[in-house]
Amino acid sequence: MVMNQNNAVTRRTFFRTAGAVGAAVATSGLLNVPLTLAEEAAAPAVDVDALVAKQMGAGAIAMEKVQLDIPATAENAALVRMPVVIDHPMEANNFIQSVALFIDNNPNPFIAQFDLTPESGKAAIEFRARMAKSSKVRVVAKSNTGKLYGLVKEIQVAAGGCAG
């Protein structure tokens, strides 16, 4: 997905674009784990946009500053490295106060939230997450002044992967 790094897109536009890509992937049959009709009916789509807004506050998300440096294919869905780095100062009046991760296709898309402080010195954390299946991973960071920064990355789960 190509995003214009210089423009702050609205949250709605940003996720609509991201969603369109996801839908295109799904309909083109590229996903390793096709849902049966029964499974689709049993798993109503969660409105991840609304979840992000609830967790991080509504507003435009600038698609910049956030890095998630991992391969596009996860070999072990139960242990997907999530090394998040936000290229932002951590000064007394200018810092990243919160970072949250969401995995759209998990039964519960909200994964974790990390509240940082200027004492963190660097806006970077790493942990490991379970992915139920191939999905968009969204990272949203909020500065102390309420500015939102984001990143969306499609992660394919290797065939035979089990969420555990």
Partner 1 sequence: MADEIGSPKIRGPKDPVKKGEVVEFKSLIKHPMESGLRKDKATDTLIPAHFIESVVVEYGGKTVLKAVWTGAVSKDPFFSFFVKAEASGPLKMTWKDNKGQAFEASATLTVA
- Shortest CA distance to 59 belongs to which of 114, 140, 3, 4? 140
By CB under 8 A, residue 160 contacts partner 1: no
How far, in whole angstroms, is CA 93 from its chain's centroid? 26
- Name the burial class of residue 161, with classes exposed (0-12), middle (13-18) and buried (19+) by CB atoms within 10 angstroms of its CB: buried
User: Whose Cβ is closer to partner 1: residue 130's or residue 147's?
Assistant: 130
By CB under 8 A, residue 112 contacts partner 1: yes
The region of 23-31, 45-53, 126-134, 140-148 touching partner 1 under the rule CB under 8 A is 126-134
Q: Which of residues 44-103 bind partner 1 (CB under 8 A)?
A: 78-80, 90, 103
Binding test (CB under 8 A) with partner 1, winner from 31, 33, 58, 125: 125
Residue type, 64: E
Kindly provide the b/e burial profile for residues 82-101, where b requires at least 16 CB atoms within 10 angstroms of the residue's own CB. Answer: bebbbebebeeeebbbbbbb
User: Whose Cβ is closer to partner 1: residue 97's or residue 156's?
Assistant: 97
Binding test (CB under 8 A) with partner 1, winner from 110, 144, 153, 154: 110
> Residue holding tokens 């991973």?
137
Query: By the criterion CB under 8 A, which residues form the site for partner 1?
Result: 78-80, 90, 103, 106-108, 110-122, 124-130, 163-164
